[in-house]
Amino acid sequence: MTTQMEKISISLPKELVAVADEVAKEEYDNNRSKLFAAHLRQLARERLQAEMEEGYMVMAEEHRKFAELSSDIAHEVIPEWQE
């Protein structure tokens, strides 16, 4: 599968360009595009992870509420659960 590429133009402070060039030279075959793509992929993974964690926390709270409500009902319909 071929990834479609799109050219963009960005403006950065000179000190960040120097950092990007240094990292690109050391880790990405002197290729800024590979550097930025790799770091944007990492950012996307981190954002997805954070969204998933938030969703799981919401689901856990909903499940807790459901368990609390259903526990009250279970005591009414399952005699062994009565205290």
- Whether the per-residue pLDDT at 1 is higher than 90: the answer is no
- What is the gyration radius of the CA atoms in the chain, in angstroms? 26
The DSSP secondary-structure symbol of 7 reads -
Of all residues in the chain, the percent with pLDDT exceeding 70 is 88
Taking the C-alpha atoms of residue 79 and residue 61, their distance in angstroms, rounded to an integer, is 27
Per-position b or e across 13-37, b if 16+ CB within 10 A of its CB: eeeeeeebeeebeeebeeeeeebee
Residues with Cβ within 8 Å of residue 38, at least 6 apart in sequence: 28
Taking the C-alpha atoms of residue 32 and residue 55, their distance in angstroms, rounded to an integer, is 34
pLDDT tens figures, 14-52: 999 999 999 999 999 999 999 999 999 999 999 999 999
